[in-house]
């Protein structure tokens, strides 16, 4: 089947999906208005009108701190973004939440295989080669600390530590898309493989545990 | 270039977890190229930011994908990390029903020499090259012997063109180290051009400390009101430090040239 993410996004909107991550999508007669989920009732929002504005809106958090992880629960508030058509909407959502529309489409069509953390770490080289030494216990603690939806990342984790070792440090609602609250009609953010940020944190854990004292 | 509506262009960048400016040149070049409607889709992926190289199959609709590494060196990243993360097996890879066409990195392009020389002239207007040492600064790494080759090649070419009293390579992590610039340079004027893609962590924050024009790591370029205060009177010389070569808008042409070069060397 040929992929067409614009068509997939259109279909999800017609099915009633109105949210992705911290963003609410409001279709109207002229196009689409996006706001932060906590800003839906506000009337003092600054208007933006280009899909590329999504990039600037999502680069820094409300304290001016860089957000290298776009799915961190730290999207700043105070803006609304108008987009005239579906293509622009897709570009903007891809800027807010890179590859997340495509990951959901792949998931729905059975093309999003999850890669165990062990596999990700074992193929690292250079400065990250040391992450192979991360123990399962350290890995679970790290995932609980870094990937939880309250302070870490809004994605649902589809992967395990290894085929034999599940993640025990996150609640089931952050691991299983079937438990994602459908009443919110949200497009889920899905994590099929540990990101480089987590690999970098794994390196810190291993180096710290190896250093004396 | 003949439009390729059934192909996607994928620009691969390094990105950063600490500096918001690292990914900017990649995204800007992608925007410029997308406006020309030469490809069905134009995307960026990164090593240290999102979207990652691992998400490429989900990100892209098209089956035919030109991969251009927006990297200076034909080294550790282009030969080890990118092929591994994208699961490439050679210049052409069939994977999951897609065709990946792995182009040369931008830093290999013949126009680098011209762009470096132009950047050097712009940053030190009116300064006679005959009384100037020009440094082309690369990253350098012990992970791949070839990583320093691009800077060496450009220094050779600029030297052959002539004009500068002295043209030298130096590196952040390999000898000759840029931190010892005053030991290598013999001229009263010193122009330093970072052979990097972005004004990110290395080019904007690390190298200025190594040069001595900053005492400690500053904020990112986009978070400061003044980019640079050239020239700097330092260690008995007059020093000019430019922005990274990869911020040059002509890199969009270079990216397109690398796609065209791929088609020439790998005809369908």
Q: What are phi and psi of A172, to 5 degrees?
A: -55, -30
pLDDT confidence of residue B223: 81
pLDDT in tens, B130-157: 999 999 999 887 766 677 888 999 999 9
From start to end of A7-118, where are the E strands? Answer: 19-20, 23-28, 31-36, 46-48, 79-83
Average of per-residue pLDDT across A101-105: 96
pLDDT confidence of residue A166: 96
pLDDT by 10-residue block (mean), chain B, 268 residues: 96 94 94 97 97 97 97 91 98 97 96 95 96 94 75 95 96 91 96 93 91 90 83 96 93 97 93
Contact status, residue B229 vs residue B222, Cβ threshold 8 Å: no
Q: How far apart are CA A116 and CA B50, in angstroms?
A: 19
| Neighbour-count burial for A191-211, b at 16+ CB within 10 Å, e otherwise | bbbbbbbbbebbbebbeeeee
Give the minimum alpha-carbon distance from A196 to chain B in angstroms, rounded to a whole number.
6
Report helix, strand or coil for B24: helix
Please check whether residue A208 touches B, CB under 8 A: no
Residues on chain B touching A75 (C-beta within 8 angstroms): none
| pTM of the predicted model over 0.90 | yes
Contact flag A193-B54 (C-beta cutoff 8 Å): yes
Contact flag A99-B80 (C-beta cutoff 8 Å): no
From B51, B82, B53, select the one nearest A155 (Cα to Cα).
Answer: B51
Contact status, residue A36 vs residue A22, Cβ threshold 8 Å: yes
Residues on chain A touching B49 (C-beta within 8 angstroms): 68, 196
pLDDT confidence of residue A104: 95
Contact flag A126-B143 (C-beta cutoff 8 Å): yes
Instruction: Give start and end residues of each alpha helix (H) in B44-93.
Output: 56-59, 76, 82-86
pLDDT confidence of residue B149: 87
B23 CB-near residues (< 8 Å, 6+ apart): B13, B15, B16, B44, B46, B49, B198
Contact status, residue A34 vs residue A83, Cβ threshold 8 Å: yes
Q: How far apart are CA B196 and CA B116, in angstroms?
A: 11
pLDDT in tens, A21-65: 999 999 999 999 999 999 999 999 999 999 999 999 999 999 999
Contact flag B84-A99 (C-beta cutoff 8 Å): no
Average of per-residue pLDDT across A113-141: 97
Of A64, A125, A195, the CB nearest to B50: A195
Average of per-residue pLDDT across A58-78: 97
Collect all residues from B whose CB is shorter than 8 A from any CB in A: 15-20, 27, 31, 47-52, 54-55, 57-61, 76, 80-81, 84, 96, 143, 220, 223
- DSSP line for B178-241: GGGHHHH--SSEEEEEE-SSSSSIIIIIIHHHHHTSSSS----GGGSS-S----EEETTEEEEE
């Amino acid at each position: 089947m040929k992929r067409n993410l614009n068509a997939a996004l259109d279909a999800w909107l017609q099915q009633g999906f109105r949210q992705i991550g911290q963003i609410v999508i409001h279709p109207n007669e002229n196009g689409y208005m996006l706001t932060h989920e906590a800003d839906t009732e506000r009337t003092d929002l600054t208007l933006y009108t280009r899909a590329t504005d999504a990039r600037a809106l999502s680069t820094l958090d409300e304290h001016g701190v860089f957000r290298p992880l776009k799915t961190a629960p730290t999207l700043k508030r105070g803006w609304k973004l108008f987009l005239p058509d579906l293509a622009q909407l897709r570009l903007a959502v891809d800027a807010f939440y890179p590859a997340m529309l495509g990951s959901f489409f792949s998931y729905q069509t059975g093309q999003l295989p999850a890669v165990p953390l062990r596999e990700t770490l074992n193929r690292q080289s250079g400065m990250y080669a040391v992450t192979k030494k991360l123990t399962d216990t350290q890995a679970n603690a790290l995932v609980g600390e870094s990937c939880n939806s309250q302070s870490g990342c809004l994605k649902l984790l589809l992967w395990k530590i290894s085929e034999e070792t599940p993640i025990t440090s996150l609640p089931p609602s952050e691991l299983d898309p079937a438990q994602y609250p459908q009443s919110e009609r949200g497009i889920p953010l899905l994590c099929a493989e540990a990101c480089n940020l987590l690999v970098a944190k794994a390196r810190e854990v291993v180096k710290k545990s190896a250093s004396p004292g | 270039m003949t439009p390729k509506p059934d192909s996607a262009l994928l620009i691969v960048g390094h990105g950063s977890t600490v500096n918001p400016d690292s990914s900017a040149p990649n995204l800007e070049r992608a925007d410029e190229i997308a406006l020309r409607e030469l490809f069905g889709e134009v995307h960026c992926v990164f090593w240290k930011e999102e979207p990652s190289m691992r998400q490429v199959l989900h990100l892209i609709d098209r089956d035919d994908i030109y991969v251009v590494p927006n990297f200076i060196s034909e080294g550790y990243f282009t030969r080890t990390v990118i092929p591994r993360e994208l699961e490439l097996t050679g210049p052409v890879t069939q994977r999951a029903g897609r065709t990946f066409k792995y182009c040369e990195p931008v830093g290999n392009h013949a126009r680098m020499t011209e762009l470096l020389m132009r950047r050097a002239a712009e940053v030190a207007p009116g300064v006679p090259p005959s009384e100037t040492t020009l440094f082309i600064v690369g990253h350098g790494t012990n992970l791949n012997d070839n990583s320093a080759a691009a800077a060496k090649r450009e220094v050779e070419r600029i030297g052959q063109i002539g004009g500068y009293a002295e043209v030298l390579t130096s590196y952040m992590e390999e000898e000759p180290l840029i931190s010892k610039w005053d030991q290598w340079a013999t001229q009263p004027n010193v122009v330093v051009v970072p052979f990097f893609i972005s004004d990110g962590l290395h080019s904007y924050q690390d190298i200025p400390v190594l040069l001595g024009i900053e005492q400690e790591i500053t904020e990112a370029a986009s978070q400061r009101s003044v980019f640079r205060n050239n020239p700097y009177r330092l260690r008995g010389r007059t020093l000019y430090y430019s922005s990274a070569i990869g911020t040059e808008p002509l890199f969009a042409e270079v990216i397109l040239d690398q796609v065209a070069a791929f088609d020439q060397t790998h005809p369908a």
